[in-house]
A = this chain, B = another copy of it.
Amino acid sequence: MKDRYIDVEDLIAARATPPGISALAIVRVAGPGCVDAVSRAFSRPERLRAAEGRTLVRGALLDIRDGRPVDDLVAAVFRAPESPTGQDQVDFMTHGSPAVVAAVVDALAALGFRKALPGEFSFRAFVAGKADLVESEAIDELSRARTAQAREAALRRLGGGPSAEIARIRTEVHELLAACEVLLDYPEDEVAGNLTSRLPAARGAVEALAKLSAGHAGARLRLEGARVAVAGRTNAGKSSLFNRFLREERSIVSDEHGTTRDWIEASVDLEGIPIVLHDTAGLRSTDDRTEAEGVRRSRLLLESADLILYVVDGTVGLAEEDGEFLAERPDALPVWNKADAPGCGPVPEGFHSVSALDGRGFQDLALAMVARLPGGSGSADGLAGERQAALVEAARASLSDAIAAIGAGEPLDLVSLDLRAASDSLGELTGETASPDVLETIFTRFCVGK
């Protein structure tokens, strides 16, 4: 960890709620002795200084430079080690005004509180053993969860479900490693049986790691979501299909101030997967000058999409242009629209028959879309992070190699190296053996105040 994070003794402060006007905001401070420090600038210093952990103290925060009140607020006092950060900590519940929050942070700076770095509170919780790395990352994942499934899965990761499983597997690796090393030290002894007797449990650990590894794609998809582009010829019914999605699926509230009102893009919850739908139709314009730009943007959308829905008007039938597109993009999901219309032709092979008008075929289309997305058939319950998945896979490969080497009677010092590699991967996963650089990379991804 680079210098800047090293000093967990610093007094730090940061706004922990979003910016903007509201009823309340929270400014969080932490660090050894922080309650005493803020008491110096509090209207009821003795009361705050003497406050027990997990109590609320109402009063005014003052600016020590001139003694003027900055805000009337409520101080939520936490005492080490029973606090979110494991340190003495105060969450000031202030009035929800940007000017008030700025003035509170400024008054705290005058008391010696420096502005907290992104993720610095979480880092302190990690250092204090309040959360391992998988749990710490789940805090960030929880913030980013856009569907109920993603939120519940992040909450389970936060609650330590995968962490306990990983700890169990790592213990298994350590047992096998210990048996190896005893045998290395005392090759003549009758302890060889210890090693082979551990092999079934070690194979179970490989299976558990393979399961964790396989669960990643599903968890990642539920957390990060996917982009789906709706393409097709003019009048194929792209916009109607788009609107039908908005009616049938639960739309995602990314921000209560209003998700996009632009019909070109919308977010929906498709079986627990946060999907951003793009209607490429909206990009065309009758204006000659903007036509080229529209086509360029449509192409970009199609290239960046995780899935393309290609819509054909079933009452018109396949045109040459449709065939060309589908030949060029065999990964697109072809949709035969206007199934409600009397003149709708027979559904070509591989097409999904739907009616954007009355919604028929729509549920089947949604399931087909989910099945096409990487991880779609999985659940939200695995490890969502790329870093985590890579380490699980590395641990699985190393442990698997070690078991194979034992079976093949290879030298135990080589086996031991594989087992150490597996242990290191798992240790990096939970943070026990993660390097400062890795920790910094992880925690600086968090927002300030977290």
Give A contacts to B, CB under 8 Å. 15-26, 28, 54-58, 68-69, 71-72, 74, 76, 78, 84, 91, 93, 95-100, 102-103, 121, 139, 142-148, 150-152, 155, 158-159, 253-257, 446-447, 449-450
The answer to whether B150 and A99 touch across the interface, beta carbons within 8 angstroms, is: yes
A152 to B63 alpha-carbon distance, docked (Å): 12
Given contacts A54-B55, A76-B56, contact A25 B17 (CB under 8 A): yes
A249 to B220 alpha-carbon distance, docked (Å): 48
The answer to whether B96 and A148 touch across the interface, beta carbons within 8 angstroms, is: no
A443 to chain B, nearest CB (A): 12
Contact of A56 among B22, B55, B145, B151 (CB under 8 A): B55
27 contacts between A and B (CB under 8 A): A15-B256, A16-B22, A16-B96, A17-B22, A17-B24, A17-B96, A18-B22, A20-B20, A21-B143, A21-B447, A22-B143, A22-B449, A26-B93, A54-B55, A56-B76, A69-B152, A71-B155, A74-B76, A74-B84, A91-B93, A96-B143, A98-B253, A98-B254, A99-B148, A99-B151, A100-B142, A100-B143
- Interfacial chain B residues near A450, Cβ < 8 Å: 22-23, 96
A159 to B100 alpha-carbon distance, docked (Å): 15
The answer to whether A72 and B159 touch across the interface, beta carbons within 8 angstroms, is: yes
A16 to B155 alpha-carbon distance, docked (Å): 22
A26 and chain B: residue at smallest CB distance: B24
A68 to B151 alpha-carbon distance, docked (Å): 11
The answer to whether A69 and B155 touch across the interface, beta carbons within 8 angstroms, is: yes
A227 to chain B, nearest CB (A): 19
Q: A20-B255, A24-B449, A99-B146 are in contact. List 20 more A-B contacts (CB 8 A).
A: A15-B256, A16-B23, A17-B22, A17-B23, A17-B25, A19-B20, A19-B255, A19-B256, A22-B143, A23-B449, A23-B450, A24-B28, A55-B56, A56-B56, A72-B159, A95-B143, A96-B143, A97-B143, A98-B255, A102-B256
